[in-house]
Structure 1
Amino acid sequence: MSKHTKLNRSTIRRVLRLIRPYAGLVALTLTLAAITVFTTLLAPVISGKAVDLILGPGQVDFAGLGKLAVAMAATILCTAVSQWLMNVVNNRITFQVVRDMRVKAFEQMEILPLKYMDAHRPGDAISRITTDVEQFSDGLLMGFTQLFTGVLTILGTLGVMISIDWRIALVVVALTPLSIFVARFIATHTYSMFKVQSETRAEMTSLVEELVGNEHLVRAFGYESRAESRFERINLDLQKCGVRAVFFSSLTNPCTRFVNSLVYAAVGVLGAFAAIAGSLTVGELSVFLNYANQYTKPFNDISDVMTELQNALACAQRVFDLIDETPIVPDAPDAVVLPAGAGSVEFEHVKFRYASDVPLIEDMNLRVWPGQRIALVGPTGCGKTTLVNLLMRFYEINGGCLKVDGHPIDTVTRDSLRANLGMVLQETWLKSGTIAENIAYGKPDATREEIIEAAKKARAHSFICRLPHGYDTVVAEDGGNISQGQRQLLCIARVMLRRPPILILDEATSSIDTRTEVLVQDAFEELMKGRTSFIVAHRLSTIKNADQILVMNAGNIIERGTHDELLAKGGFYARLYESQFAKA
């Protein structure tokens, strides 16, 4: 069995497990499908009887034809109603299954470790949750609508044809495998093509998301022509794989129709000889020809469904791949809630690597007392932000022990740990909502008075009051309608509101003008009183008053001490400081 076949079957089993909760609706749609098929099969019988009532000129049974006309009208009406109801039920099943799948995928995104986000482009995850789920929805809906009725139609027409003339029915059955073989062969070979198409579509989504989200940088650096080249290359790849997939899948219908035409011709020729021999009436022959058409038509529908299902299964597999990604290590069963503590932090022989074969932090030892201000400095990539990520438990340490207030962080719940930590990052993030909602992001139950007080301490109250609707001004996605400095002030106000015992400031004032920075530094001084603070800084002028400065390089603490002590040593920190404040 090929790898694709095994993958297909596994995907189908998972889709069926998603459908299982809606077994009642599935039973209802099967019942409606059976009614639709029965009434559809009944119509040719009625028309065949009508043919036999027309014996010749002056020998037409008009009374019988009238009754048959009423029966035919009732049959057609019943078929239409049952088919409409079946489509309604199928839509309900499909949309509920797709909703469940999308919820599972989004919930998985919430518990994936940050290393997954670092290793994958955001557009890929977006494509899986939106585009791939939508493609799966279309294929599943088409399958529910046509697969049930197609199979039942085939079985029903075959039964009726056998009852009329088993020899002609046998010929029909003998030619049927040709149609099945063609459809199966094409469907099997198009799965991989549709999978490549989905992956290329995700690549395009990632590129568009990247370029649209950073349009100002694209223009600032004159990247337009290169962006167009990248887009054209991916678009061309998508065109090629899309055309290839659609071309081969579109062969299904004409190939099966050719086989169906052979079946119809065989039935017509054999039926004509049977009618001449007297074993069939003309009406029965017309019924047989109608059934031959009805018998072969579902094969066309099913072949179309199989093509759509291959696309749907390829998209579903990409969503399942996301759902199957290894989530973050869950909280230990006996994990305790970390209370709001004093803010002590201990690194004891901590080891950490992003990649198993690339050393980073090999043996870090650090003890931070409550209320201390610890500054982290060093060249880019030295491990400053990594230390913060470990403290926030965004990444799990590979060895040693990391404690907060005497508790190893893997023995407390993540929520309680992070409730004791407040972060202001260099890169600001605001959600689409009002100014007040953004400040209260970490404390949704905050009162308006608390929000205003936090904004005042962050020196944001003044500019907020100048906005059109003050604290009720709606911030665009990513804060596009306010300046970078103002966004940073709002992020600072967000932490001011929570006032956690441990603060992490990662270049928190880098996007603020010098005058505002002085005001914010005053606010930080007030905020940091009695609180443990980790300050990641490149501008060394902002950390002169730190209780301890840790100089990091290649994941190791190579120097530690106060500003004056490190300058007196004349080492790495002194050279770094002098490079920023060289005397004329």
Structure 2
Amino acid sequence: MFKQTLSTFSPYLKPFKKAIILNACLSFLYGLSSVLVTMYIGKAIDSMTLSSKTGLVTQIFLIIVLTCLAASSFYFLQRISQHIAYTSMKEVRKKGYHKLNKLPINYFDTHSHGDTMNRFSTDLDYISEALLTLFNQLFPSITIIIVALGIMLSLNVILTGVILLITAGMFLVNVMIAKKGQRYFNAQQQLLGKVSGYINEQFSHLKTIKSYEYEETVIQQFQDMNLELQQTGQQAQFISSLTNPLSRFIDHIGYLLIGLVSGLLIVNFSLPLSLGMLSSFIIYSGQFSKPLIELSSITTQLQTAFSSIKRINDLLDEPEEDTYVRKLTQPFTPIGDVAFSHVYFSYDPASPLIEDFNLTVKQGQTVAIVGKTGAGKSTLVNLLMNFYPLDKGVITVDSVPITDIPKDELRRSFGMVLQETWLFQGTIWDNLTFGNPQATKQNVIKACEEANIYQFIQQLPCGFNTMIGQSGVLLSEGQKQLFTIARTMISQPPMLILDEATSSIDTLTEQHIQTAFDNMMSGKTSFIIAHRLSTIKKADIILVMDKGKIIETGTHDSLLKNKDGAYSSLYHSQFSH
């Protein structure tokens, strides 16, 4: 699994081939100089025992030079490692963000927003820290191990065998612990995303929670998830934390064995082991095992990073919206004829929603869609915008199937005012011209006046340059909706979709902007979803939907004549008091 995960992630390191090669060279230089320092320390000890002052001065000078070389090479090694780790993560974050914009709508319907955000923050931080550690330690450790092993073999084969035996024991311990701990780290990362998503959801609806006095239940649910995360995290940390102390325990046993075997070799076999050589060998054995201990000490970090890489790769491997192969020879400039022909659709195959739906709308007509909650009103709009693929049937705009129209051109043809308003943190001007950055100030002012929001903007200290959001002015839901209405007017789309466009606006303000709506919809094909039936009296066609089907159709007056009809019942229920 590690190999597959890393091979999936390796393309992000390809642009850093030169930096990685330089990192490897500096690592070799650092490792070699560190090992040579140990060799000259042993020679210096022998020079002191032999009272050779000339050789001692030379060896001390070489020790100083090699130490400075090791320090400088390690400094540049760290700088390059930081560049590789953080720059590669920047590219992954960028690719992930682009990926989100290409995912179908149903991905966001089925995945927690908090969990998705966690992949861009915590998971990428874990990966960058692991990469930094690997590039700082992996190549230097390999160099030190190889050079130290060579010198130890030249000193004494038997003692080298003892060190290799101890090292093999440490390696086996690390492998067994890593295999056992990985599943806990995977579970920990999944739970962390779940908790983040839950917190994000609760904070987004804090007013609703407080209004229903649901705090205790929410706290209990959070505590249950938090306890599960704590238990899983403790298990993961406990198992992985065994690696370092066990490795050090085995390493210390190695020192005892080296002392024991060295004594036996000197006493029983009279081998010529000088004090300096024995000192160097003991230091080399530490240099040989220390990199393995250090690598084992970051097992927790590496296992967390592997889990994070898997979560990032899962996001990047998500199927994108169907790619479009252009079938049109010219840019799509719709007139506004829309037709639904034998359309079938369901979010869940087990629960059909829309079945054999047919509708023809001519250019400039205003179509109002009414019905009970869950009747399929908003679903029609989602299908028209090609947010979801049809199970069966076809939707056409100007006799062209929407599947043959580039999605960006199709969606740009519709201006949408939704019940859920959205304004980003920025200036009022940037928010208003979001759909039409080339709009003139005159057009913007006119739209704001028609949307009954211009007077409010004039009262602000910076006017159109006023910031919206936490660092600027805070808007009510009604004001936000007026801004979205003005934004749609400024974008001047050929077709309109108004989904509860005045749900957060008081009745008096709604009456003021109704004229602006009429002017905006004049000559444009418009789809209106409304619960306030008083706002759709002038609609050319009113569709009454129930369970995904049209049960009534006609104008406001003609539908009211059928006193036993569904529309008449809805209308009189609103105006009977």
- TM-score calculated relative to the size of structure 2: 0.97
Query: What residue in structure 1 maps to residue 136 of structure 2?
Result: 145
* In structure 2, distance between residues paired with 1:403 and 1:478: 44
Aligned match for 2:304, one of 265, 288, 311: 311
Query: What residue in structure 1 maps to residue 410 of structure 2?
Result: 417
Query: What residue in structure 2 maps to residue 367 of structure 1?
Result: 360
1:8: how far off? 2.1
The residue identity in structure 1 corresponding to 2:181 is T
Establish whether residue 112 from structure 1 lines up as the match of residue 103 from structure 2: yes
* In structure 2, distance between residues paired with 1:468 and 1:205: 38
The residue identity in structure 2 corresponding to 1:22 is F
Q: Number of residues paired by the alignment?
A: 574
Query: What residue in structure 2 maps to residue 321 of structure 1?
Result: 314
Query: What residue in structure 2 maps to residue 520 of structure 1?
Result: 513
* In structure 2, distance between residues paired with 1:101 and 1:485: 39
* In structure 2, distance between residues paired with 1:156 and 1:15: 31
1:448: how far off? 2.4
* In structure 1, distance between residues paired with 2:156 and 2:141: 22
Query: What residue in structure 1 maps to residue 534 of structure 2?
Result: 541
Aligned match for 2:63, one of 58, 72, 75: 72
Establish whether residue 50 from structure 1 lines up as the match of residue 44 from structure 2: yes
Contact 2:341 2:393 in 1 (8 A): yes
Which one is further off, 38-47 or 273-282? 273-282
* In structure 1, distance between residues paired with 2:439 and 2:60: 73
1:458: how far off? 1.5
Aligned match for 2:282, one of 272, 280, 289: 289
* In structure 2, distance between residues paired with 1:76 and 1:334: 68
* In structure 1, distance between residues paired with 2:246 and 2:69: 33
Percent identity of paired positions between Structure 1 and Structure 2: 38
Contact 1:135 1:312 in 2 (8 A): yes
Which one is further off, 225-234 or 420-429? 225-234
Establish whether residue 159 from structure 1 lines up as the match of residue 150 from structure 2: yes
* In structure 2, distance between residues paired with 1:418 and 1:112: 15
Aligned in 2, Cα 1:98/1:293: closer, same or farther, shift over 3 Å?
A: same
1:474: how far off? 0.5
1:269: how far off? 1.9
Contact 1:479 1:487 in 2 (8 A): no
What SS class does the counterpart of residue 550 from structure 1 fall into? strand
1:479: how far off? 8.9
Query: What residue in structure 2 maps to residue 492 of structure 1?
Result: 485
Contact 2:326 2:404 in 1 (8 A): no
* In structure 1, distance between residues paired with 2:298 and 2:135: 9
Cα deviation, 1:273-329, whole Å, max 9, x if unaligned, reads: 334513221111111100011111111112123332111010110011011111111
1:418: how far off? 1.3
Query: What residue in structure 1 maps to residue 172 of structure 2?
Result: 181
Contact 2:243 2:299 in 1 (8 A): no
* In structure 2, distance between residues paired with 1:527 and 1:111: 31
What SS class does the counterpart of residue 292 from structure 1 fall into? helix
Establish whether residue 25 from structure 1 lines up as the match of residue 7 from structure 2: no
Contact 2:428 2:467 in 1 (8 A): yes
Which one is further off, 33-42 or 570-579? 570-579
What SS class does the counterpart of residue 298 from structure 2 fall into? helix
What does 1:216-295 correspond to in 2, within 5 Å?
A: 216-276=207-267, 277-295=270-288
Name structure 2 gaps, 5 residues minimum. none
1:508: how far off? 0.4
What does 1:312-391 correspond to in 2, within 5 Å?
A: 312-335=305-328, 338-391=331-384
What SS class does the counterpart of residue 325 from structure 2 fall into? coil
Query: What residue in structure 1 maps to residue 566 of structure 2?
Result: 572
Aligned match for 1:122, one of 107, 113, 118: 113
Contact 1:338 1:417 in 2 (8 A): no
* In structure 1, distance between residues paired with 2:27 and 2:520: 68
Cα deviation, 1:197-217, whole Å, max 9, x if unaligned, reads: 111111121122122223322
* In structure 1, distance between residues paired with 2:535 and 2:329: 37
1:336: how far off? 5.3
1:73: how far off? 0.9
What SS class does the counterpart of residue 54 from structure 1 fall into? helix
Which one is further off, 571-580 or 345-354? 571-580
Aligned in 2, Cα 1:480/1:111: closer, same or farther, shift over 3 Å?
A: farther
Query: What residue in structure 1 maps to residue 31 of structure 2?
Result: 37
Aligned match for 1:11, one of 5, 15, 30: 5
Which one is further off, 326-335 or 474-483? 474-483
Cα deviation, 1:203-246, whole Å, max 9, x if unaligned, reads: 12112212222332232222222222222222222211111111
What SS class does the counterpart of residue 53 from structure 1 fall into? helix
Contact 2:336 2:494 in 1 (8 A): yes
Which one is further off, 143-152 or 272-281? 272-281
Aligned in 2, Cα 1:562/1:536: closer, same or farther, shift over 3 Å?
A: same
Which one is further off, 29-38 or 298-307? 298-307
Contact 2:240 2:299 in 1 (8 A): no
Contact 1:430 1:479 in 2 (8 A): no
Contact 1:439 1:490 in 2 (8 A): yes
Aligned match for 1:215, one of 172, 195, 206: 206
Cα deviation, 1:165-218, whole Å, max 9, x if unaligned, reads: 112112222332111000111111111111111111111211221222233223
* In structure 1, distance between residues paired with 2:324 and 2:472: 34
* In structure 1, distance between residues paired with 2:48 and 2:266: 16
Aligned match for 2:544, one of 542, 551, 554: 551
* In structure 2, distance between residues paired with 1:530 and 1:487: 27
Query: What residue in structure 2 maps to residue 85 of structure 1?
Result: 76
The residue identity in structure 2 corresponding to 1:92 is H
Q: C-alpha root-mean-square deviation of aligned residues, in Å?
A: 1.6
Aligned in 2, Cα 1:151/1:291: closer, same or farther, shift over 3 Å?
A: same
Which one is further off, 509-518 or 268-277? 268-277
* In structure 2, distance between residues paired with 1:307 and 1:482: 46
Aligned match for 2:197, one of 196, 203, 206: 206
1:71: how far off? 1.1
Contact 2:447 2:490 in 1 (8 A): yes
Query: What residue in structure 1 maps to residue 433 of structure 2?
Result: 440
* In structure 1, distance between residues paired with 2:70 and 2:189: 37
